[in-house]
């Protein structure tokens, strides 16, 4: 046979709970208990509120820039809940706050970061989260390397890295996928395909029909999931985690979701996208279907919602208080953490707060007068 097929594959799309809050009996069986679903719904309400508060803080000049997470909470919480707190590691971008909070990251640190304070990245020991990554796509290689280290040391840990659809155009995505699959490291590549990379829509970002299929090029297990379906996200992440633990290598998960807000507070998405599109996706808000499910089960009502809303409000004021209550960093802060041991020149700059040396540098002291008298 002169021509034969040497490769064939296809992408599966997974949905467990539809937009009406109805769970597929087979896929949803024994996946999450109603207590767990309720817990995650309540977290979603809290974190949505926190997201809105951050936006308001920025608008009133109390935060410099903030990228809203609104609409993508199921992707963050579903995946985060599938990973083992204190064991697995999260290597995030900046639109999965919920996952980080689930893993113990104090929310005020995220606020501090966006208020322009490096102390927001000083992640407490025991919280297995790396700081949010601003340049697009670079963190996927760090995740790969970390997973590689755990494999080398035979530690039972999985690393999950988050990124957007736009990041899959970066070279580092491809280099990370290639390393991770070639060395079969326990790493999950979790893409939040929110359809927009600032103003560039997904169709203009890539010609491939799905993000997930890019994983096939590297020999990764590749799957697409309804990113607004908490249960489906949980399910595929759990499977990816177990696969990684079993030594079967990386999975790329494409969570199909939507950025309901602007890219950041410095952006105005009305300049480049239709309000109908946003409105249509707003109907698929992950919170709506979860609430419908809980109501259908008789587990939720307006009174309960009010209790959670009130609690979220209190939680948010606490976070605002914590992040705004901290004194501005000392100017020494700029110098103190660059190296384990401060180089001499840096110490001089720190001590004098000058880069010019005359009159500041003790080695120059007295030189001029003695030189003048010698003349």
Partner 1 sequence: MPQMTLVQAINNALDTEMARDERVVCLGEDVGLNGGVFRVTEGLQKKYGPDRVIDTPLSESGIMGSSIGLAMAGQRPIPEIQFEGFMGPAYDQLVNHAARFRNRTRGAITVPLTVRVPWGGGIHAPEFHSDSPEAIYVHNPGLKVLCPCTPYDAKGMLLSAIRDPDPVIFFEPKRVYRSFREEVPEGDYTVPIGKAKVVAEGTDVTVISWGAMVFQCLEALDGLPEDLSVELIDLRTIHPLDFDTICESVTKTGRAVIVQEAPKTCSMASELSAILMEKCFLHLQAPVQRVCGFDTVMPYAKLELQYLPDAPRIAEAIKQVVAY
Q: Is 94 in the site for partner 1 (CB under 8 A)?
A: no
- Pick one of 9, 60, 363, 373: the residue that binds partner 1 (CB under 8 A): 363
Alpha carbons 174 and 219: distance in angstroms, whole number: 12
CB of 39 to partner 1, least distance (A): 29
DSSP state of 193: E
List binders of partner 1 among 322-341 (CB under 8 A): 337-340
Residues 6+ apart with CB under 8 A from 199: 263, 267, 269, 271, 272, 273
- Pick one of 153, 279, 330, 331: the residue that binds partner 1 (CB under 8 A): 153
**Among this protein's residues, is 263 annotated catalytic?**
yes
Pairing assessment for the beta strands 221-226 and 13-14 based on DSSP bridges: parallel
**Among this protein's residues, is 272 annotated catalytic?**
yes
**Closer of 6 and 371 to partner 1 (Cβ):** 371
Q: Is 373 in the site for partner 1 (CB under 8 A)?
A: no
Distances (CA, A) of 260 to 21, 205, 257, 342: 20, 19, 9, 45
Alpha carbons 226 and 208: distance in angstroms, whole number: 18
Q: Which of 48, 157, 263, 289 does the annotation list as catalytic?
A: 263
| Region label for 249, one of left (φ > 0), alpha (ψ between -120 and 50) or beta (otherwise) | left
Q: What are phi and psi of 48, to 5 degrees?
A: -65, -40
Distances (CA, A) of 242 to 39, 83, 366: 23, 10, 70
Q: Is 353 in the site for partner 1 (CB under 8 A)?
A: no
Q: Which of 49, 259, 289, 291 does the annotation list as catalytic?
A: 259
- Pick one of 116, 171, 201, 359: the residue that binds partner 1 (CB under 8 A): 171
Q: Is 121 in the site for partner 1 (CB under 8 A)?
A: yes
**Among this protein's residues, is 41 annotated catalytic?**
no
Report the interface residues with partner 1, using CB under 8 A: 89, 118-119, 121-125, 130-131, 135, 138, 140-150, 152-153, 171-172, 175-176, 178-179, 182-183, 337-340, 343-346, 356-358, 361, 363-364, 367-368, 371
| Active site amino acids | 259, 263, 272
């Amino acid at each position: 046979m002169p021509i034969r097929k040497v490769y064939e594959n296809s992408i599966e799309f997974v949905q467990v709970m539809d937009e009406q809050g109805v769970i597929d009996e087979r896929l949803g069986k024994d996946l999450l208990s109603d207590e767990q679903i309720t817990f995650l719904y309540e977290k979603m309400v809290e974190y949505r509120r926190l997201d809105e508060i951050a936006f308001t803080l920025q608008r009133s000049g109390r935060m410099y820039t903030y990228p809203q997470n609104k609409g993508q909470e199921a992707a963050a919480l579903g995946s985060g809940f599938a990973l083992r707190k204190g064991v697995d590691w999260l290597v995030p971008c900046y639109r999965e706050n919920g996952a980080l909070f689930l893993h113990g990251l104090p929310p005020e640190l995220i606020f501090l970061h966006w208020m322009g304070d490096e102390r927001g990245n000083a992640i407490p020991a025991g919280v297995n989260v790396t700081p949010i990554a601003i340049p697009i796509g670079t963190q996927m290689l760090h995740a790969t390397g970390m997973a590689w280290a755990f494999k080398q040391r035979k530690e039972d840990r999985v690393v999950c890295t988050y990124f957007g659809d736009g990041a899959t155009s970066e070279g580092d995505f491809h280099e990370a996928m290639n390393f991770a699959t070639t060395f079969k490291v326990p790493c999950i590549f979790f893409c939040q395909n929110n359809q927009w990379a600032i103003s560039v829509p997904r169709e203009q970002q890539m010609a491939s029909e799905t993000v997930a299929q890019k994983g096939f090029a590297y020999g990764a297990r590749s799957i697409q999931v309804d990113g607004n379906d908490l249960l489906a996200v949980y399910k595929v992440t759990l499977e990816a985690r177990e696969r990684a633990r079993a030594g079967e290598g990386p999975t790329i998960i494409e969570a199909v979701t939507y950025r309901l807000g602007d890219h950041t507070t410095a952006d105005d998405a009305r300049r480049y996208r239709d309000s109908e599109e946003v409105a249509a996706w707003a109907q698929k808000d992950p919170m709506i279907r979860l609430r419908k499910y809980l109501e259908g089960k008789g587990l939720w009502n307006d009174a309960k919602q009010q209790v959670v809303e009130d609690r979220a409000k209190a939680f948010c004021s606490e976070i605002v208080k914590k992040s705004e209550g901290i004194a501005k960093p000392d100017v020494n802060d700029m110098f103190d953490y660059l190296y384990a041991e401060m180089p001499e020149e840096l110490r001089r700059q720190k001590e004098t707060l000058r880069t010019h040396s005359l009159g500041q540098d003790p080695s120059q002291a007295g030189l001029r007068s003695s030189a003048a008298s010698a003349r």
